[in-house]
Amino acid sequence: MRILVWHVHGSWMTAFVQGAHEYLVPVVPGRGPDGRGRADTWDWPSSVVEVTPEQLRADERPDVVLLQRPEDTELLERWTGLRAGVDVPAVHVEHNTPRGDVDDWRHPLAGQTRIPVAHVTHFNASAWDNGRAPVHVIEHGVLDHGHTWTGVHPRLSMSVNEPVRRSRVAGMDLAARVAQQVPVDVYGMKVDALASHLPAFAGGEHADLPQHELHARMADHRAYLHTYRWTSLGLSLLEAMTLGSPVLVLAATAAPEAVPPSAGVVSSDVRELVSAARRLADDHEQAAAMGAAARAHALKHFGVDRFLSDWNQLLEGVV
């Protein structure tokens, strides 16, 4: 199958492009949001092929289109003349939780029936007003990079892109309360200004790293901290679990369903997360046991084989 799919969320795409298909990824001059092309920090297979809008119009007609943003439908028609769900089969992948007042959580595709909406969590599917759109849930899949956790550093790790701009969503104020008791290292894009915004993170800012190096760093931390208030389900959380890391998680959105009690601590009480961070910082053996349970759960529920199988079933049905 030839699948047209924009590079929007790198970690999600890394799992998606592991299938047995050809993946046409748009690329535009400057590699802006409408055409980032292949990833720089993830290792994608050769079946991921960059295509320009001109190539799509001339001779790269896809069998199916994966839409991920409302503007993708307009881009497809402007670039190729094809209408999603009419001239070419299409699926809309909804990565995000809804925003704004709860009464305004109507999905952009709620008024049509031609294009199914595939949510990445059951929480998302229940939160959005999907209207008449066919609804599917295909939960995340993550690659298995091995049980590499060592926990040699009694510090916590986080992976957050743009933690200053996204401070409220990512719960950085909550994470800072934890960091006042147990040091926290934050990895991601545009982390350099974090300490000036929240001094508790001073000395713990680490610029964006290639995925393999990020995973190596995360595996050396005693536990992974996830304080997002409002997100579908952070893939970095699931990746940390597959590495064998115990996790400390704010009980919000889909996180309570994704993390069993044996894998760490999930609570909306930050004092509980602080207490657990202290215990794990002092007890490497307990951290190792929790991390092993986290890894087993993540591989069983979020393995890439299950993820690809679910997607193959949906795409074959649509095509």
Give the pLDDT confidence of 208-248 residue by residue, as tens digits: 788 889 999 999 999 999 999 999 999 999 999 999 999 99
Dist. CA 49–CA 25, nearest whole Å: 6
- pLDDT at position 212, please? 84
DSSP state of 199: G
| pLDDT of 251 strictly over 90 | yes
| pLDDT of 79 strictly over 80 | yes
Residue that is written with structure tokens 């939160």 in the block: 127
Residue that is written with structure tokens 């002092």 in the block: 282
248 token code pair: 């400390």
Q: Which residues contact 88 (CB under 8 A, 6 or more apart)?
A: 61, 62, 63, 64, 65, 76, 82
| pLDDT 10s digits, 44-65 | 999 999 999 999 988 778 999 9
| Same fold yes or no, 2-141+304-318 and 153-301 | yes
Beta bridge partners of 114: none
| pLDDT 10s digits, 114-173 | 999 999 999 999 999 999 999 999 999 999 999 999 999 999 999 999 999 999 999 999
User: Hey, CA dihedral for 155, 189, 117, 315, is it positive or negative?
Assistant: negative
Strand order in the sheet with 64-67: 48-51, 22-26, 2-5, 64-67, 90-94, 117-119, 135-137
In terms of CATH architecture, what is 153-301? 3-Layer(aba) Sandwich (3.40)
DSSP state of 25: E
Count the Cβ atoms, other than its own, within 10 Å of residue 55. 15
In three-state secondary structure terms, 193 is coil
Average pLDDT over residues 55-80: 93
Alpha carbon 11 to chain centroid, angstroms? 6
| Domain edges within the chain | 2-141+304-318, 153-301
CATH code linked to domain 2-141+304-318: 3.40.50
Dist. CA 9–CA 232, nearest whole Å: 12
Dist. CA 162–CA 188, nearest whole Å: 7
Dist. CA 307–CA 315, nearest whole Å: 12
Closest by CA to 117, choosing from 103, 131, 105, is: 131
CA angle 155, 169, 9 (to 5 degrees): 85
Dist. CA 164–CA 269, nearest whole Å: 23
261 token code pair: 């009690």
